[in-house]
Amino acid sequence: MNRYKITMQLGDGTYGSVLKAVNRSTGEVVAIKKMKKKFYTWEECMQLREVKSLKKLNHPNIVKLKEVIRENDELFFVFEYMEKNLYELMKAREKHMPESKIRNIMFQIFQGLAFMHKHGFFHRDIKPENMLCKGDTCKIADFGLAREVRSRPPYTDYVSTRWYRAPEVLLRSTVYNSPIDTFACGCIMAELFTLRPLFPGSSEADQIYKICSVMGNPTAETWPEGLKLASQMNFRFPKFVPTPLEELIPHASSEATQLLYDLLAYDPNRRPTASQTLQYPFFMKGIQIPAAMPPPGRSSHGKSSHGRGADAGAGVVKSGAAAGYGSAATGAASGAAASSATGGGGGSGSYGGGGGYGTGGMAAASGGGGYGTSAATGGGGGGGYGASA
């Protein structure tokens, strides 16, 4: 750790703290996650989900783990440094985000997710705090909760931050899989349009209530398995007529709402996979992509395009009609059918398992579901970005 000079603390979470640091010899700025738990052997370190997943995932839209350091029984993860997360990006805005910017962000998230699912992992805690931004580049972070596809149900551990939790998880399904990630992406996409959480539930029951108030209640036709799960819990869905997304997000295009409806489907089998979303009309209008981005279906091991400075995807090209959807930039993505990944997991900060990158110590506002902590304990009322306590 002597190679790095710590400049400030970025966040603090259940499992560790995240520090901003500078490499003394190269001047490179990095983010270092210091684990709170002691680690007495390297074998113990290598069993961490975060290490197992990030060692195998090398993609421009997945935050890069640069090195792992064990020193005096303390464990440190050294990550590439990103400027902010989506939560901070949204909170700082005073007016709606242009749809072109939302398209660019979501395209990159789905690129990273498709790559992850294809290579046998699923995230389990997709939320704005875990999407890191630097310029026009967006990357997925926090793999402390990732599972391998090969791992077998039942899954009983805590899964994802409540506001982004899929209905099947809320109803205690033990066989949920990769569609929980795409449902969470639908919640994030809607939030990018409105700058407010779509489903700011104050408890698990209230979370289902919030989903039903927008999507209507599921039926035997739309989600038979969900009715079985509810019956097993002696739970009755509240009766709601759906609120059209066109009314909730009037400034969103029809292509955007089409994608949102599919991502937020009750039945996980009816949600598109991450790679299938890239084929939607919403992404055919032209996006911005990092110049060095490889096709998402192909591993970039060996020749990493995660380099720092100008190589870190800093050069951005507009795809426009020429590189638009269906080009080499995205064609492979649509063919990279994401496997039926399986996942669960619980909330923590960005940069892996517990950092709270940029949001450490934030408390949810005491009003209507203020947006801040992983625990998301704010009331279920308005759900805007309340000031931190």
Catalytic site positions? 125
Beta strands in the chain (DSSP E): 4-12, 16-23, 29-35, 65-71, 74-80, 84-85, 121-122, 131-134, 137-140, 147-148, 288-290, 316-318
Q: Interhelix angle for 254-263 vs 179-194, to 10°?
A: 140
Q: For residue 72, what are the contacts with CB-CB under 8 A and spacing of at least 6?
A: none
Distances (CA, A) of 157 to 172, 176, 267, 343, 347: 10, 12, 21, 10, 11
Is 36 labelled a binding residue? no
309 CB burial (10 A radius; 0-12, 13-18, 19+): exposed
Rounded to an integer, what distance in angstroms lies between the CA atom of residue 240 and that of residue 358?
37
Tokens of 39: 């680690």
